[in-house]
Amino acid sequence: MIPGGVNSPVRAFGSVGGTPPFMASAKGAYVTDADGRSYVDYVGSWGPMILGHANAGVLRAVREAAASGTSFGAPTEREVAIAEVVCSALPGMQQVRFVSSGTEATMSALRVARGVTGRKRILKFEGCYHGHADALLVGAGSGVATLGIPGSPGVPEEFTQLTIQAPYNDLDAVESAFKRWGDDIACVIVEPIAGNMGFIEPLPGFLAGLRELCDRAGALLVFDEVMTGFRVAWGGAQRVHKVRPDLTCLGKVVGGGLPAAAYGGRRAIMKHVAPEGPVYQAGTLSGNPLAMAAGLATLEALAEPGVYERLGERTGALVEGMRAIAAEHDVPFTASSLGGMFGFFFHPGPVRNFDDARKADAARFRRFFAAMLDAGIYLAPSPYEAGFVSLAHRPKEIDATLEAARGAFRRAATR
Protein backbone atom coordinates (compact mmCIF):
# COMPACT_ATOMS: atom_id res chain seq x y z
CA MET A 1 0.00 0.00 0.00
CA ILE A 2 3.05 2.29 0.48
CA PRO A 3 6.04 2.53 -1.93
CA GLY A 4 8.75 0.33 -0.46
CA GLY A 5 6.58 -0.08 2.62
CA VAL A 6 7.88 3.19 4.08
CA ASN A 7 7.09 6.90 4.01
CA SER A 8 10.76 7.96 3.90
CA PRO A 9 13.29 5.88 1.92
CA VAL A 10 16.12 5.26 4.39
CA ARG A 11 13.67 3.53 6.76
CA ALA A 12 13.41 0.61 4.32
CA PHE A 13 16.75 -0.98 5.39
CA GLY A 14 17.90 -0.91 1.75
CA SER A 15 21.61 -0.67 2.62
CA VAL A 16 21.60 -3.11 5.54
CA GLY A 17 19.17 -5.78 4.34
CA GLY A 18 16.27 -7.41 6.11
CA THR A 19 12.88 -6.08 7.08
CA PRO A 20 12.69 -3.00 9.30
CA PRO A 21 10.94 -3.38 12.64
CA PHE A 22 7.62 -1.55 12.74
CA MET A 23 7.56 0.58 15.87
CA ALA A 24 4.57 0.59 18.19
CA SER A 25 5.65 2.72 21.15
CA ALA A 26 8.58 4.49 22.77
CA LYS A 27 9.58 5.73 26.21
CA GLY A 28 12.78 7.36 27.35
CA ALA A 29 15.78 5.79 25.59
CA TYR A 30 13.79 2.85 24.21
CA VAL A 31 11.58 2.05 21.24
CA THR A 32 9.35 -1.03 21.15
CA ASP A 33 8.30 -2.75 17.94
CA ALA A 34 5.00 -4.34 16.98
CA ASP A 35 6.28 -7.75 18.12
CA GLY A 36 6.94 -6.38 21.62
CA ARG A 37 10.74 -6.24 21.38
CA SER A 38 12.46 -3.21 22.90
CA TYR A 39 15.65 -1.55 21.64
CA VAL A 40 17.98 1.11 23.01
CA ASP A 41 17.33 3.82 20.44
CA TYR A 42 20.08 5.89 18.82
CA VAL A 43 17.91 7.13 15.94
CA GLY A 44 15.67 9.29 18.10
CA SER A 45 13.26 9.96 15.23
CA TRP A 46 16.40 11.10 13.32
CA GLY A 47 17.28 13.73 15.91
CA PRO A 48 14.27 15.44 17.52
CA MET A 49 13.95 13.29 20.66
CA ILE A 50 16.75 14.96 22.59
CA LEU A 51 14.83 14.69 25.88
CA GLY A 52 13.95 11.06 25.20
CA HIS A 53 10.71 9.59 23.94
CA ALA A 54 7.36 10.50 25.49
CA ASN A 55 8.91 13.12 27.76
CA ALA A 56 6.38 14.06 30.44
CA GLY A 57 6.81 17.81 30.03
CA VAL A 58 6.42 17.68 26.26
CA LEU A 59 3.36 15.41 26.47
CA ARG A 60 1.76 17.72 29.01
CA ALA A 61 2.37 20.76 26.77
CA VAL A 62 0.89 18.99 23.73
CA ARG A 63 -2.19 17.81 25.67
CA GLU A 64 -2.84 21.33 26.95
CA ALA A 65 -2.45 22.78 23.47
CA ALA A 66 -4.68 20.12 21.87
CA ALA A 67 -7.46 20.80 24.38
CA SER A 68 -7.72 24.31 22.93
CA GLY A 69 -7.74 23.19 19.27
CA THR A 70 -5.27 21.54 16.93
CA SER A 71 -4.94 24.18 14.21
CA PHE A 72 -6.18 27.71 13.63
CA GLY A 73 -4.42 29.02 10.52
CA ALA A 74 -4.00 32.23 12.50
CA PRO A 75 -1.32 33.71 14.76
CA THR A 76 -0.92 32.32 18.28
CA GLU A 77 0.97 33.47 21.37
CA ARG A 78 3.15 30.32 21.40
CA GLU A 79 4.64 31.26 18.03
CA VAL A 80 5.94 34.48 19.51
CA ALA A 81 7.22 32.74 22.65
CA ILE A 82 9.25 30.13 20.78
CA ALA A 83 10.49 32.73 18.28
CA GLU A 84 11.89 34.75 21.18
CA VAL A 85 13.73 31.70 22.55
CA VAL A 86 15.18 30.74 19.16
CA CYS A 87 16.32 34.26 18.28
CA SER A 88 17.93 34.76 21.70
CA ALA A 89 19.85 31.48 21.37
CA LEU A 90 21.23 31.74 17.83
CA PRO A 91 23.84 34.44 17.20
CA GLY A 92 22.88 34.75 13.53
CA MET A 93 19.12 35.14 13.99
CA GLN A 94 17.07 38.28 14.60
CA GLN A 95 13.83 37.17 12.96
CA VAL A 96 12.45 33.70 12.30
CA ARG A 97 9.67 32.17 10.20
CA PHE A 98 8.26 28.77 11.24
CA VAL A 99 7.39 26.13 8.66
CA SER A 100 6.55 22.41 8.80
CA SER A 101 9.65 20.57 7.56
CA GLY A 102 13.38 20.94 7.07
CA THR A 103 12.92 20.74 3.31
CA GLU A 104 10.52 23.67 3.48
CA ALA A 105 13.00 25.64 5.57
CA THR A 106 15.97 25.18 3.23
CA MET A 107 13.88 25.73 0.11
CA SER A 108 12.55 28.97 1.56
CA ALA A 109 15.98 30.18 2.69
CA LEU A 110 17.37 29.71 -0.82
CA ARG A 111 14.45 31.67 -2.28
CA VAL A 112 15.13 34.49 0.16
CA ALA A 113 18.84 34.45 -0.71
CA ARG A 114 18.06 34.69 -4.41
CA GLY A 115 15.46 37.38 -3.83
CA VAL A 116 17.76 39.51 -1.70
CA THR A 117 20.84 39.24 -3.91
CA GLY A 118 19.13 39.13 -7.30
CA ARG A 119 21.42 36.22 -8.22
CA LYS A 120 20.58 32.73 -9.49
CA ARG A 121 23.27 30.24 -8.53
CA ILE A 122 23.73 28.43 -5.22
CA LEU A 123 26.74 26.49 -3.96
CA LYS A 124 26.33 23.32 -1.90
CA PHE A 125 28.68 20.57 -0.76
CA GLU A 126 28.87 16.97 -1.92
CA GLY A 127 27.25 14.67 0.60
CA CYS A 128 25.33 17.42 2.38
CA TYR A 129 21.58 16.77 2.27
CA HIS A 130 19.30 19.78 2.53
CA GLY A 131 15.93 18.19 1.87
CA HIS A 132 14.35 17.03 -1.36
CA ALA A 133 13.76 20.35 -3.14
CA ASP A 134 14.71 20.03 -6.82
CA ALA A 135 17.78 22.29 -6.79
CA LEU A 136 19.25 20.50 -3.77
CA LEU A 137 19.10 16.89 -4.96
CA VAL A 138 22.58 17.16 -6.42
CA GLY A 139 25.37 15.20 -4.75
CA ALA A 140 23.08 14.78 -1.75
CA GLY A 141 23.75 12.64 1.29
CA SER A 142 21.29 10.91 3.63
CA GLY A 143 18.85 8.56 1.91
CA VAL A 144 19.98 9.68 -1.53
CA ALA A 145 23.50 8.44 -0.80
CA THR A 146 22.22 5.35 1.01
CA LEU A 147 20.25 4.25 -2.05
CA GLY A 148 23.08 5.16 -4.46
CA ILE A 149 20.95 7.67 -6.37
CA PRO A 150 23.11 10.38 -8.02
CA GLY A 151 20.21 12.81 -8.23
CA SER A 152 16.60 12.00 -8.90
CA PRO A 153 14.42 11.27 -11.91
CA GLY A 154 11.67 13.83 -12.04
CA VAL A 155 14.09 16.71 -11.50
CA PRO A 156 14.70 18.42 -14.87
CA GLU A 157 18.35 19.06 -15.61
CA GLU A 158 17.54 22.74 -16.01
CA PHE A 159 16.56 22.91 -12.32
CA THR A 160 20.01 21.79 -11.19
CA GLN A 161 22.17 23.68 -13.68
CA LEU A 162 22.29 26.61 -11.26
CA THR A 163 23.58 24.40 -8.41
CA ILE A 164 27.36 24.35 -7.96
CA GLN A 165 29.01 21.56 -5.97
CA ALA A 166 32.22 21.54 -3.98
CA PRO A 167 33.82 18.95 -1.67
CA TYR A 168 33.11 19.51 2.02
CA ASN A 169 36.04 21.01 3.93
CA ASP A 170 37.68 22.22 0.70
CA LEU A 171 38.03 26.01 0.75
CA ASP A 172 40.18 26.02 -2.39
CA ALA A 173 37.31 24.51 -4.40
CA VAL A 174 34.90 27.11 -3.04
CA GLU A 175 37.30 29.91 -3.89
CA SER A 176 37.64 28.55 -7.43
CA ALA A 177 33.86 28.49 -7.78
CA PHE A 178 33.63 32.11 -6.67
CA LYS A 179 36.31 33.10 -9.17
CA ARG A 180 34.26 31.55 -11.95
CA TRP A 181 30.67 32.40 -10.90
CA GLY A 182 31.07 34.87 -8.04
CA ASP A 183 28.87 37.59 -9.50
CA ASP A 184 26.02 35.10 -9.87
CA ILE A 185 26.24 33.09 -6.61
CA ALA A 186 23.37 34.00 -4.33
CA CYS A 187 24.46 31.87 -1.40
CA VAL A 188 26.55 29.05 -0.03
CA ILE A 189 24.49 26.51 1.92
CA VAL A 190 26.30 24.15 4.25
CA GLU A 191 25.75 21.80 7.15
CA PRO A 192 28.18 23.43 9.61
CA ILE A 193 28.69 19.94 10.99
CA ALA A 194 27.77 17.33 8.41
CA GLY A 195 25.30 14.72 9.55
CA ASN A 196 23.99 13.32 6.29
CA MET A 197 27.18 11.62 5.09
CA GLY A 198 27.90 10.39 8.57
CA PHE A 199 29.09 12.73 11.32
CA ILE A 200 31.89 14.91 9.91
CA GLU A 201 33.12 18.04 11.63
CA PRO A 202 34.46 21.08 9.79
CA LEU A 203 38.22 21.49 9.65
CA PRO A 204 39.62 24.47 11.57
CA GLY A 205 39.03 27.62 9.55
CA PHE A 206 36.59 26.05 7.06
CA LEU A 207 33.44 27.83 8.25
CA ALA A 208 35.29 31.09 8.87
CA GLY A 209 36.73 30.81 5.36
CA LEU A 210 33.24 30.41 3.90
CA ARG A 211 32.16 33.50 5.80
CA GLU A 212 35.06 35.48 4.35
CA LEU A 213 34.51 34.27 0.77
CA CYS A 214 30.79 35.07 0.90
CA ASP A 215 31.44 38.54 2.30
CA ARG A 216 34.01 39.23 -0.38
CA ALA A 217 31.64 38.16 -3.18
CA GLY A 218 28.43 39.66 -1.79
CA ALA A 219 26.83 36.22 -1.37
CA LEU A 220 24.88 35.03 1.66
CA LEU A 221 26.05 32.23 3.94
CA VAL A 222 23.29 29.78 4.89
CA PHE A 223 23.77 27.29 7.72
CA ASP A 224 21.57 24.23 7.53
CA GLU A 225 21.23 23.49 11.24
CA VAL A 226 18.15 21.32 10.83
CA MET A 227 20.15 18.54 12.46
CA THR A 228 22.70 20.43 14.60
CA GLY A 229 20.48 23.22 15.90
CA PHE A 230 20.04 22.76 19.68
CA ARG A 231 21.44 19.22 19.24
CA VAL A 232 25.20 19.85 19.48
CA ALA A 233 24.87 22.87 21.77
CA TRP A 234 22.49 25.57 22.90
CA GLY A 235 22.46 27.83 19.86
CA GLY A 236 23.78 25.16 17.53
CA ALA A 237 27.03 24.77 15.62
CA GLN A 238 27.29 28.48 14.87
CA ARG A 239 27.76 29.17 18.58
CA VAL A 240 30.32 26.35 18.92
CA HIS A 241 32.38 27.51 15.94
CA LYS A 242 31.76 31.24 16.44
CA VAL A 243 30.78 31.88 12.82
CA ARG A 244 27.63 33.87 12.17
CA PRO A 245 25.63 32.96 9.04
CA ASP A 246 23.24 35.28 7.22
CA LEU A 247 20.44 32.70 7.29
CA THR A 248 19.91 29.61 9.44
CA CYS A 249 17.60 26.65 8.82
CA LEU A 250 16.31 24.70 11.82
CA GLY A 251 14.19 21.59 12.33
CA LYS A 252 13.98 18.40 14.37
CA VAL A 253 14.68 19.58 17.96
CA VAL A 254 12.74 22.84 17.55
CA GLY A 255 9.60 20.78 16.90
CA GLY A 256 10.06 18.54 19.92
CA GLY A 257 9.09 15.50 17.85
CA LEU A 258 6.21 17.14 15.99
CA PRO A 259 6.41 18.52 12.42
CA ALA A 260 8.06 21.92 12.74
CA ALA A 261 11.06 23.68 11.26
CA ALA A 262 12.19 27.26 10.78
CA TYR A 263 14.42 29.62 8.86
CA GLY A 264 15.64 33.04 9.89
CA GLY A 265 18.45 35.50 10.00
CA ARG A 266 19.30 39.16 10.13
CA ARG A 267 16.32 41.52 10.14
CA ALA A 268 17.67 43.29 7.05
CA ILE A 269 17.33 40.01 5.15
CA MET A 270 14.11 38.69 6.67
CA LYS A 271 12.26 41.94 5.92
CA HIS A 272 12.18 40.71 2.31
CA VAL A 273 9.82 37.85 3.28
CA ALA A 274 6.09 38.36 2.61
CA PRO A 275 3.98 40.06 3.83
CA GLU A 276 6.70 42.55 4.78
CA GLY A 277 8.55 42.04 1.51
CA PRO A 278 8.14 40.53 -1.97
CA VAL A 279 9.65 37.03 -1.41
CA TYR A 280 6.64 34.75 -1.04
CA GLN A 281 6.39 31.78 1.29
CA ALA A 282 3.33 30.43 3.06
CA GLY A 283 1.96 27.32 4.79
CA THR A 284 -1.41 26.33 6.22
CA LEU A 285 0.12 24.42 9.14
CA SER A 286 3.12 26.71 9.69
CA GLY A 287 3.36 27.51 13.39
CA ASN A 288 0.92 24.72 14.25
CA PRO A 289 -0.05 25.11 17.93
CA LEU A 290 0.74 21.49 18.86
CA ALA A 291 4.20 21.65 17.26
CA MET A 292 4.91 25.03 18.84
CA ALA A 293 3.93 23.66 22.26
CA ALA A 294 6.16 20.61 21.89
CA GLY A 295 9.08 22.68 20.59
CA LEU A 296 8.78 25.31 23.30
CA ALA A 297 8.62 22.69 26.07
CA THR A 298 11.71 20.99 24.63
CA LEU A 299 13.72 24.21 24.40
CA GLU A 300 12.74 25.25 27.91
CA ALA A 301 14.05 21.92 29.23
CA LEU A 302 17.29 22.29 27.25
CA ALA A 303 17.87 25.77 28.69
CA GLU A 304 18.41 24.31 32.17
CA PRO A 305 22.02 24.57 33.46
CA GLY A 306 24.29 21.61 32.81
CA VAL A 307 22.08 19.92 30.20
CA TYR A 308 24.57 19.94 27.35
CA GLU A 309 27.46 18.97 29.62
CA ARG A 310 25.55 15.82 30.67
CA LEU A 311 24.55 15.08 27.11
CA GLY A 312 28.11 15.48 25.85
CA GLU A 313 29.52 13.24 28.58
CA ARG A 314 27.15 10.40 27.73
CA THR A 315 27.71 10.68 23.99
CA GLY A 316 31.46 10.92 24.52
CA ALA A 317 31.45 7.81 26.71
CA LEU A 318 29.65 5.88 23.97
CA VAL A 319 32.08 6.96 21.26
CA GLU A 320 35.21 6.44 23.35
CA GLY A 321 33.99 2.97 24.33
CA MET A 322 33.32 2.01 20.72
CA ARG A 323 36.76 3.20 19.64
CA ALA A 324 38.42 1.14 22.37
CA ILE A 325 36.49 -2.02 21.48
CA ALA A 326 37.26 -1.59 17.77
CA ALA A 327 40.95 -1.32 18.61
CA GLU A 328 40.76 -4.53 20.67
CA HIS A 329 39.46 -6.35 17.59
CA ASP A 330 41.91 -4.61 15.21
CA VAL A 331 39.02 -3.18 13.15
CA PRO A 332 39.72 0.01 11.17
CA PHE A 333 37.33 2.46 12.81
CA THR A 334 36.95 6.17 13.45
CA ALA A 335 34.28 7.92 15.49
CA SER A 336 33.55 11.35 16.93
CA SER A 337 30.80 13.28 18.68
CA LEU A 338 29.62 16.68 19.84
CA GLY A 339 26.77 17.32 22.25
CA GLY A 340 24.12 14.70 21.62
CA MET A 341 25.25 13.80 18.09
CA PHE A 342 27.80 11.19 17.01
CA GLY A 343 28.95 9.16 14.05
CA PHE A 344 31.36 6.39 13.09
CA PHE A 345 32.95 4.85 10.03
CA PHE A 346 34.62 1.53 9.37
CA HIS A 347 37.56 3.49 8.02
CA PRO A 348 40.97 4.22 9.61
CA GLY A 349 40.32 7.95 9.26
CA PRO A 350 40.43 10.77 8.98
CA VAL A 351 37.06 11.21 7.24
CA ARG A 352 36.82 14.80 6.03
CA ASN A 353 34.37 14.70 3.13
CA PHE A 354 31.97 12.54 1.13
CA ASP A 355 34.74 10.86 -0.90
CA ASP A 356 36.36 9.70 2.34
CA ALA A 357 33.00 8.52 3.71
CA ARG A 358 32.33 6.42 0.62
CA LYS A 359 35.62 4.57 1.16
CA ALA A 360 34.39 3.16 4.48
CA ASP A 361 33.78 -0.61 4.62
CA ALA A 362 30.06 -0.99 3.86
CA ALA A 363 30.08 -4.77 4.37
CA ARG A 364 31.50 -4.37 7.87
CA PHE A 365 28.87 -1.77 8.66
CA ARG A 366 26.10 -4.16 7.57
CA ARG A 367 27.44 -6.95 9.79
CA PHE A 368 27.87 -4.58 12.71
CA PHE A 369 24.38 -3.12 12.28
CA ALA A 370 22.76 -6.56 12.13
CA ALA A 371 24.59 -7.73 15.24
CA MET A 372 23.62 -4.61 17.18
CA LEU A 373 19.98 -4.94 16.14
CA ASP A 374 19.98 -8.59 17.22
CA ALA A 375 21.34 -7.44 20.58
CA GLY A 376 18.59 -4.86 21.03
CA ILE A 377 20.45 -1.73 19.89
CA TYR A 378 18.69 0.38 17.24
CA LEU A 379 21.13 2.35 15.06
CA ALA A 380 20.44 4.28 11.88
CA PRO A 381 20.18 1.73 9.03
CA SER A 382 22.72 3.54 6.88
CA PRO A 383 26.46 4.26 7.06
CA TYR A 384 25.70 7.82 5.95
CA GLU A 385 23.59 8.90 8.92
CA ALA A 386 24.58 10.39 12.25
CA GLY A 387 23.41 8.90 15.53
CA PHE A 388 21.72 10.63 18.44
CA VAL A 389 21.91 10.29 22.21
CA SER A 390 19.18 11.72 24.43
CA LEU A 391 19.08 12.90 28.02
CA ALA A 392 17.13 9.71 28.74
CA HIS A 393 20.18 7.59 27.89
CA ARG A 394 21.63 6.77 31.29
CA PRO A 395 24.98 5.11 32.02
CA LYS A 396 23.25 1.72 32.09
CA GLU A 397 22.04 2.16 28.48
CA ILE A 398 25.53 3.24 27.39
CA ASP A 399 27.06 0.23 29.18
CA ALA A 400 24.53 -2.14 27.58
CA THR A 401 25.30 -0.67 24.17
CA LEU A 402 29.04 -1.15 24.61
CA GLU A 403 28.52 -4.72 25.79
CA ALA A 404 26.50 -5.40 22.62
CA ALA A 405 29.23 -3.69 20.59
CA ARG A 406 31.82 -6.24 21.73
CA GLY A 407 29.98 -9.02 19.93
CA ALA A 408 29.12 -6.77 17.00
CA PHE A 409 32.76 -5.83 16.44
CA ARG A 410 33.69 -9.51 16.51
CA ARG A 411 31.16 -10.11 13.74
CA ALA A 412 32.35 -7.05 11.84
CA ALA A 413 35.94 -8.28 12.02
CA THR A 414 35.12 -11.49 10.15
CA ARG A 415 35.30 -11.74 6.38
Tens of pLDDT, residue by residue over 259-286, are 999 999 999 999 999 999 999 999 999 9
Closest by CA position to 365, among listed 379, 349, 350, 351:
379
pLDDT of residue 142: 52
Residue numbers annotated as active site? 129, 224, 252
Q: Given 259, 282, 302, which residue is the final one in a domain?
A: 302
Instruction: Tally the domains of the chain.
Output: 2
Specify whether 273 is located in the same domain as 159. Answer: yes
Q: How far apart are CA 239 and CA 102, in angstroms?
A: 20
Query: Helices 56-67 and 289-302, interaxial angle, to 10°?
Result: 150
pLDDT of residue 154: 76
Q: How far apart are CA 323 and CA 335, in angstroms?
A: 7
Specify whether 320 is located in the same domain as 385. Answer: yes
Specify whether 41 is located in the same domain as 60. Answer: no
DSSP character for 3? Answer: G
Specify whether 206 is located in the same domain as 156. Answer: yes
Specify whether 241 is located in the same domain as 332. Answer: no
201 versus 92: which is more confidently predicted? 201
Q: How far apart are CA 311 and CA 64, in angstroms?
A: 28
Res. 182: pLDDT tops 90? no
Specify whether 312 is located in the same domain as 221. Answer: no
Specify whether 167 is located in the same domain as 263. Answer: yes
Specify whether 252 is located in the same domain as 297. Answer: yes
pTM: 0.95
Q: Over range 384-409, report the average pLDDT.
A: 97
Q: How far apart are CA 22 and CA 43, in angstroms?
A: 14
Q: Where are the alpha helices (DSSP H) in 42-101?
A: 56-67, 77-89
pLDDT of residue 159: 76
Specify whether 245 is located in the same domain as 108. Answer: yes
CATH number for the domain that contains residue 246: 3.40.640.10
Q: Over range 310-320, report the average pLDDT.
A: 98
**What are the tens digits of pLDDT across the range 224-261?**
999 999 999 999 999 999 999 999 999 999 999 999 99
Specify whether 89 is located in the same domain as 162. Answer: yes
Name the percent of the chain lying above pLDDT 70: 96
The boundaries of the domain holding residue 284 are 56-302
**What are the tens digits of pLDDT across the range 359-369?**
999 999 999 99
Residue 76 phi, psi dihedral angles, 5° rounding:
-135, 160
pLDDT of residue 147: 43
Specify whether 117 is located in the same domain as 238. Answer: yes
Q: Over range 48-59, report the average pLDDT.
A: 98
Provide the phi-psi class of 402: left if phi over 0, else alpha when psi is between -120 and 50, else beta.
alpha
Q: Given 302, 321, 348, which residue is the final one in a domain?
A: 302
pLDDT of residue 148: 45
CATH number for the domain that contains residue 39: 3.90.1150.10
Specify whether 39 is located in the same domain as 69. Answer: no
Q: Given 302, 328, 344, which residue is the final one in a domain?
A: 302
Task: Say what the alpha-carbon torsion angle 323, 326, 332, 335 is, to the nearest 10 degrees.
Answer: -20
pLDDT of residue 263: 98
